[in-house]
Amino acid sequence: MKQITLARVDDRLIHGEVVSVWTPSLSINRIVVIDDGVAADAFNKRVLKALAPAGVKILVWDVATAAEKLQADPKTDEKIMLLAKTPITFNRLYDAGITSIKEVNLGGMGLRDERKTFIKNVACDADEIESIKDMLSKNIRVYYQLVPEQQIIETNDFVK
């Protein structure tokens, strides 16, 4: 199974913080965007791949493809960041057998639709909160950290 360096929720997907801060600080060389809608949209896939930092390969998969491909044997030189728009995606991946997800980093999740402020820049709807609770019950650490230099805020107290 592939070794995951960072599993991050950020509804902006690839943008400044990911490209200029997270990727170099963790020496990421593969970014896998996991989103059913984006994976089905050729234009969005091209845009995301165009945003790739030098030396970083961008892959865009739906959840089913990710669950299959992340089962492959790890390569010693791979440093993989998984990016998704919602924590529900990571919960689905874990349930599909990707148990190498031990931590989920919550980044930017904007206010929209039924989402309400959860922690700092993170807004969640009821299903996303349930997903976080479910991951915590599986001993997956879920925390907020916008950039690596920022203090980590654990979600445990916020889901009660």
Written as one letter, the residue type at 13 is L
Is the pTM of the predicted complex or chain greater than 0.85?
yes
Q: Strands of the chain (E only): list them.
A: 4-9, 30-34, 57-61, 80-84, 103-106, 116-119, 122-124, 141-144, 153-154
pLDDT confidence of residue 110? 86
pLDDT confidence of residue 2? 83
Count of domains for the chain:
1
- The b/e string for 43-79 (b: 16+ C-beta within 10 A; e otherwise) is ebbeebeeeeeeebebbbbebeebbeebeeeeeeeeb
Residue 20 structural domain: 4-158
132 φ/ψ angles, rounded to the nearest 5 degrees? -65, -45
Hey, CA dihedral for 43, 47, 48, 54, is it positive or negative? positive
Dump pLDDT digits (tens) for 35-77. 999 999 999 999 999 988 889 999 999 999 999 999 988 888 8
Written as one letter, the residue type at 160 is K
DSSP class of residue 156 equals G
Q: Residue 158: pLDDT above 90? A: no
Residues of the chain with pLDDT > 90, as a percent, come to 78
pLDDT confidence of residue 26? 94
Q: Residue 17: pLDDT above 90? A: no
CA distance 138 to 67: 18
pLDDT band at 33 (very low <50, low <70, confident <90, very high): very high
Gyration radius from the chain CA atoms? 15
Q: What is the CATH number of the domain that holds 134?
A: 3.40.35.10
pLDDT band at 19 (very low <50, low <70, confident <90, very high): confident
